[in-house]
Structure 1
Amino acid sequence: MTEVAGTTGREGFTGELWRSIESIYREVLDHPFLRGLTDGTLPEECFRHYVLQDALYLREYARALSLAGVRSRDESALVMFDEHAVGAIAVERSLHEGFLKDLGVAREEAEGTAAAPTTLAYTSFLLRTATLGDYPEVLGAVLPCYWIYERVGKTLRERGSPTPRYQRWIDTYGGEEFGTLVEAVLDLTDGACDGLNPAQRARVMEAFVTTSRYEWMFWDAAWKLEGWPVG
């Protein structure tokens, strides 16, 4: 990957947030799962694991987005996050059903798939923060899934993939429509975090860094075909 971490063009607090994960983002771009998407070497079983777990993740992420909307005092934010939650479910149902059909996965198998350790840990952290954290912390927690995927999608789209299935995934997150959606969330986050004291800003940053780490871990779990070690 040739993209340089940190070149987002963002100022304000979200710019500070991105700078706090530059090293994580470099590791994301260099992960063999993502490199395998663009050079076509990613084993099908790894992509299959990813799609099954991502479907489970998106259901819980949609709940976290709904909670983010409820926690906001801004009616427009409530509407936006509710729309995004519906969109996450739509992606889970349509995009993933298409991939799973291509991969020969029956609906019964998909519905019977249990959350892997990383999936459960990531979604549990999201829902805990969305329930117990301050509203700005909630934004910090949900933001990496938007922003990292948008940045990764654009970078991978420049490279392309020889595998149509992987190119379809790349096009989903590398397009302008998704980029516009992410910009709206970034602007909202800057506004909501304006005027926070140092301790509050630190909590938002901690949530942002934590879920950014989980983003790397999620791809790594798919690469390693992660399962429960016992039981």
Structure 2
Amino acid sequence: MSRLRDDVWQVVGGVYDQILAHPFLSGLTDGSLPREAFRHYVVQEAHFLPDYARAQAACAARSPEPSSVQSFARDAAMTVEVEHSLVVELLAAFGLDEADARKLPAAPTTVGYASYLVRSCSLGTFPEALGAIVPCYWIYARVGEALLQRSSPDPLYAWWIETYGAESYQETVAGALDLLDGLVLSADDRERLLDRALTTARFEWMYWEAAWRREGWPCG
């Protein structure tokens, strides 16, 4: 039987290809991405990352083994320490602090994606939680790795690329994939895990698209 990570990538790989071809990401590497689109993305990250950390902590709470409890608890802390710190510094480049960013609205895709992750990781089975959370790790790692080979003439964009292409982030993702491969699942659990993974991958594409369009609420 194939490794579970291979089955997950078979499901999400096509979405990843569309993500990598997205004009937001190509704009990061050639420096053509409008700063307002990147600003939108960074503001949305200020809204999203606390819920992402909550989803990781929920995975820790649902983990059946002490090693995976420790792993997800550590990753939740690292999200707050490393990714959140990056967002705070990127906001400062736009003359904003975190309080300013939180006064700006969370976009529909941000609300939907964050809610899906927290709900899946808090209320689902551990395989469902892992299926929902792993593509968040893996797609960012693959994007960072691919973009690092191209870098960017824009120092702000290059800084973002270097964070997610860094070896330390790749090692964190490798740990999550090892946990995934260690699961012993029924056919039904496997199907539910893969379903969650596909939904998360689609939300990842939507998140880039929302930043590209500078998505807002259609009414109210």
Superposition TM-score tier, normalisation by shorter sequence: over 0.9
Q: Which residue of 2 aligns with 1:139?
A: 130
Return the offset for 1:93. 3.7
Code of the residue aligned with 2:76 in structure 1: it is A
Are the equivalent residues in 2 in contact too, given 1:65–1:82 (CA < 8 A)? yes
Are the equivalent residues in 2 in contact too, given 1:14–1:189 (CA < 8 A)? yes
Q: Which residue of 2 aligns with 1:77?
A: 68
Q: Which residue of 2 aligns with 1:26?
A: 17
Return the offset for 1:106. 4.0
The correspondence for 1:114, drawn from 105, 121, 138, is: 105
Q: Which residue of 2 aligns with 1:216?
A: 205
Q: How does 1:182-197 map to 2 (within 5 A)?
A: 182-192=173-183, 194=184, 196-197=185-186
In the alignment, does 2:69 pair up with 1:99? no
SS at structure 1 position matched to 2:118: helix
State the distance in 2 between where 1:197 and 1:124 align: 27
Q: Which residue of 2 aligns with 1:154?
A: 145
Q: Which residue of 2 aligns with 1:200?
A: 189
- The Cα offsets for residues 53-88 of structure 1, whole Å up to 9 and x where unpaired, read as 012111001001001001012111111111111111
Are the equivalent residues in 2 in contact too, given 1:59–1:92 (CA < 8 A)? no
Are the equivalent residues in 2 in contact too, given 1:55–1:92 (CA < 8 A)? no
Code of the residue aligned with 2:96 in structure 1: it is V
SS at structure 2 position matched to 1:211: helix
Are the equivalent residues in 1 in contact too, given 2:15–2:201 (CA < 8 A)? yes
Return the offset for 1:92. 4.5
Q: Which residue of 1 aligns with 2:42?
A: 51
State the distance in 2 between where 1:214 and 1:182 align: 19
Give the TM-score taking structure 2 as reference length: 0.96
In the alignment, does 2:106 pair up with 1:90? no
State the distance in 1 between where 2:97 and 2:127 align: 40
SS at structure 2 position matched to 1:229: coil
Q: Which residue of 1 aligns with 2:4?
A: 13
Calculate percent identity across the aligned residue pairs.
46
Code of the residue aligned with 1:202 in structure 2: it is E
Are the equivalent residues in 2 in contact too, given 1:144–1:212 (CA < 8 A)? yes
State the distance in 2 between where 1:113 and 1:136 align: 35
Give the TM-score taking structure 1 as reference length: 0.92
Return the offset for 1:114. 2.4
In structure 2, relative to structure 1, the CA distance for the partners of 1:67 and 1:107 (3 Å cut) is closer
**RMSD between aligned residues:** 1.1
